[in-house]
A and B are shown apart, each in its own frame.
Chain A
Amino acid sequence: MKTRTSKQTGFWFILPAMVFVLLFFIFPLIAVLIMSMTNFPLLGEVEYVGLQNYTDMIGDTEFHQTIIQTLIYTVLVTPPLFFVGLGMALLIRKTNKLSSFFRTFFFMPIVIGFGSAAFLWYWLLDPGTGYIPQLLRDLGFGAMDKPILGYMPGALLAVILMVVWKFSSFQMILLMAAMQGIDPEVMESSEMDGAVKWKQLRYITLPLIKRTLGMVFILSIAGSLLAFDQFYIMTSGGPTGQTETMVFYVWRQAFRSFNLGSAAAMSVAISIALLLVSLIQVRFINEKD
């Protein structure tokens, strides 16, 4: 009997998606490479300038500063995200009613967008009407009339606090799922050996979820390197540009100063950096637990 599945049937199924990928991913990807080698004014002649934008970028100290600031943010935000996420995963990994009740509330900030969350915290931290300065006043920490978002390191720490609130349960879900996937017999037998709890965590639970730990770590690094919303909204990059991130700077170059050529060159640089980070992620995914 002749089947009606030809060699190309599968291709027809993926074709619509691939058309979108071609139009809105491959084309822009090629375009960004071309744009990065041109002086690209919105109006007027496009001029080929070779690697000029790249050499400019290498000499652009303001860009370097935003790279350093982004790295500092990434280094500071990743450990609290990770440990809060891991702690909560350990707390509610059981599949009983009470655990899933608490889980619902821990999750809630994830589904609020970074935009709304940032506007929420922007008010929450306002020295005049915000609840957090008021709470600190009530607890006897003094006047709290300095706007925390207007000073360093207060501005950076406040954004980090917001991100930990908003995002650590994302890490929690992935870690919790990995822990629930561990064979219960492994845990039980380690208990019969008299393994102390933290030793069990250190030598049995964590090594068994190594792959997920690595993935969660990389996801948090990649996400932090691309941070924009929370800084744009809560600090506008201030005070005096001290919380401006790489993406923020490139965005400003493209959409405020319309230096599309140099924005494209910096976009290429950021993409290559992120590509390297993601390649480490692929290694984790391919590695067996």
Chain B
Amino acid sequence: MKRTDLLTKKSKRRGRNSPIPFRGWLVICISLMILFLSPILSSLLHSVKTPKDSASSPPAYIPPTFSFENYRALATSSNGLISNGIHVYIGNSLILATLTVLGTLFLATLGGYGFARFNFKGKEIYFAVILLMIMVPFQALLTPIYFLFSQIELQNSLIGLSLIYITYQLPFSIFLMRNTFVVIPRELGEAAMVDGCSPFKVFRSVMLPLSRPGIISVALFAFFASWNEFIAALSMISVQEKYPLPVVLTLLSDRQLGSLNFGLLQAGVVVTMIPCITLFVVLQKYYVSGLISGGVKS
């Protein structure tokens, strides 16, 4: 009797809408958490085995001896799979991400503000074009983009690739910034205008500082998009020195003498995913709010 009393009490604490008792809820959530986390943890564990252990079949779940040898092998070209140390490719990914984040922020804050606060000739048409961008899949435009880039020597260029990423981040980012600016009271800008500020000064000194959450969300999504993008990078870049990390993984998964070095590959996977996971854990709030305000309400 007492036990059931306790259970109902606990389930009450979780709110009255819960269809299952607290303890059951906890068990389900913990199981799901283990399911979602275990592939990531497995990859991490496999990457810190000795090369011998990471090639052994059947595998040990927990590394018998911890070793950073797979990571050391990534640092140079001695593994025979990549012609540079991994730092070169991390650098490529960082250049790509920096260009994409800065470019997207610049264009999307200005554009979002323009759409949020002004009426001008052709506004509906420009807005419709942005909507059209969401509908036409960017994969379908890779062929002409590749051709156009080959005409102006932009293939095999990280700058060229970042221009594509920036452009296709714009619809989501402009919507998100527009939704951010719309809720800032108009009076704040108008007061500054009366003081003689130009529209751009109002934007820069009054509006931008007030829209920090939106700006962080836009930056975060631009980072993830450029860091993780695969098909365009694979298609546009054919010089190994310029490969970003996801494409480098295709090199690490090449077979040598018929066998694949899974320990090395998982070390590469860990290097690629850790920055994303870290940024997400720190800035989670902005990820969720950005997704909701750029996705649902637009």
Interface residues of A (CB under 8 A from B): 1, 3-5, 7-14, 16-18, 20-21, 23-29, 31-32, 35, 40, 88, 91-92, 94, 96, 98, 102, 104-109, 111-116, 119-124, 126, 128-131, 134, 137, 165, 169, 173-174, 177-178, 187-188, 191, 197-198, 200, 212, 215, 222, 226, 228-229, 232-233, 247, 250-251, 254-255, 260, 263-264, 267-268, 270-271, 274-275, 278-279, 282, 285
Best-surrounded residue of A7, A119, A177, A215 (most CB of chain B within 10 A): A119
Which listed residue, A28, A191, A250, A278, touches B17 by the CB 8 Å rule?
A191
**Residue B1 interfacial (CB < 8 Å):** no
Best-surrounded residue of B140, B145, B277 (most CB of chain A within 10 A): B140
- Majority DSSP secondary structure for residues of B touching A: helix
Tell me which residues across on chain A come within 8 A of B145, comparing CB atoms: 24, 28
Tell me, rounded to whole Å, the shortest Cβ–Cβ distance linking A7 to chain B: 6
Since A114-B228, A250-B139 are in contact, a sample of 8 more A-B pairs with Cβ atoms closer than 8 Å, ordered by chain A residue number, is: A8-B120, A24-B167, A91-B32, A108-B40, A134-B59, A165-B36, A191-B17, A255-B234
B143–A123 touching, CB < 8 Å: no
Tell me which residues across on chain B come within 8 A of A126, comparing CB atoms: 260, 262
Number of A-B contacts (CB under 8 A): 297
**Residue B114 interfacial (CB < 8 Å):** yes
Residue in B closest to A254 when the chains form the complex, CB atoms: B143
A108–B163 touching, CB < 8 Å: no
Q: What separation, in Å, do the CA atoms of A10 and B112 have in the docked complex?
A: 10
Tell me, rounded to whole Å, the shortest Cβ–Cβ distance linking A77 to chain B: 17
A14–B143 touching, CB < 8 Å: no
**Residue B56 interfacial (CB < 8 Å):** yes
Residue in A closest to B298 when the chains form the complex, CB atoms: A285
Tell which of B68-76, B84-92, B209-217, B246-254 binds the partner: B246-254
Q: What separation, in Å, do the CA atoms of A104 and B33 have in the docked complex?
A: 9
A17–B174 touching, CB < 8 Å: yes
- Majority DSSP secondary structure for residues of A touching B: helix
Q: What separation, in Å, do the CA atoms of A224 and B25 have in the docked complex?
A: 31
B61–A32 touching, CB < 8 Å: no
Best-surrounded residue of A20, A105, A113 (most CB of chain B within 10 A): A113
Tell me, rounded to whole Å, the shortest Cβ–Cβ distance linking A285 to chain B: 8
